[in-house]
């Protein structure tokens, strides 16, 4: 894929101008696909530094041991350090990231973010960062129409640096029916992040 270096759009990949991407996975089954998408990011966007981070609930579906070699760096766990640290992890994450994708985003994660909770490093970082934050909901059957989801999504979309990419219909591993709402493909999140990023740049330039 050497032809992609410096110009991902030449291969039909979405334009993406951020150079430091925080890639968050939460507790939904499709977190198992993170190694695939991480490999895709590294090959398609070799100039982008990707830092993977998973929540404790995502550890049921994917391991940091699988993500670290693909990222070429440590894969982080969304937990407060046990001992003293020289720098606050949430501040470091918020200042490091030029864009954030949460893929997949469970209903629990969406709700906590929408409510303004700040009980883990990444949750506090996302409440504070001015970088684009794009979320890909991954929901069980029925959740897409629930009052909780609709309320939390609306609250998140009021934030100028946040976008929620609608899920796509998919097969539920439990019901066996096409009644689940699966996380949108990662390229759609990069497109949304780039839209937020360029809009912010345009507003600064005015």
Residues 161 and 193: beta-carbon distance below 8 Å? no
State how far the Cα of 35 lies from the Cα of 179, in Å rounded to an integer. Answer: 25
Residue of 148, 144, 151, 134 whose CA lies nearest to 181: 144
User: Is 40 strand, coil or helix?
Assistant: helix
d(CA 188, CA 166): 10
**CA atoms in the 13 A half-sphere facing the CB of 9:** 7
Q: Return the minimum-mean-pLDDT range out of 6-10, 13-17, 128-132, 141-145.
A: 6-10
pLDDT given for residue 6 in this prediction = 57
DSSP 3-state of 193: helix
0.85 exceeded by the pTM? yes
Compute the mean pLDDT over every residue in the chain, rounded to the nearest whole number: 93
């Amino acid at each position: 894929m050497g032809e992609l270096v410096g110009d991902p759009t030449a291969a039909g990949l979405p334009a993406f101008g951020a150079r430091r991407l925080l890639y968050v996975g939460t507790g939904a089954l499709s977190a198992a696909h993170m190694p695939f998408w991480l490999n895709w990011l590294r090959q398609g966007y070799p100039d982008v530094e990707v830092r993977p981070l998973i929540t404790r609930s995502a550890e049921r579906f994917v391991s940091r041991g699988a993500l670290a070699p693909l990222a070429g760096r440590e894969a982080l766990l969304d937990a407060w350090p046990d001992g003293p640290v020289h720098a606050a992890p949430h501040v470091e994450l918020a200042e490091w990231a030029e864009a954030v994708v949460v893929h997949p985003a469970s209903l629990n994660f969406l709700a906590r973010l929408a409510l303004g909770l700040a009980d883990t490093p990444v949750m506090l970082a996302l409440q504070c960062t001015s970088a684009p934050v794009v979320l890909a909901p991954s929901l069980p059957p029925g959740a897409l129409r629930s009052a909780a989801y609709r309320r939390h999504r609306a609250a998140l979309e009021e934030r100028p640096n946040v976008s929620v990419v609608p899920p796509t219909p998919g097969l539920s591993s439990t019901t066996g029916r096409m009644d689940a709402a699966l996380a949108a493909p990662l390229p759609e999140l990069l497109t949304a992040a780039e839209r937020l990023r360029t809009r912010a740049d345009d507003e600064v330039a005015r």
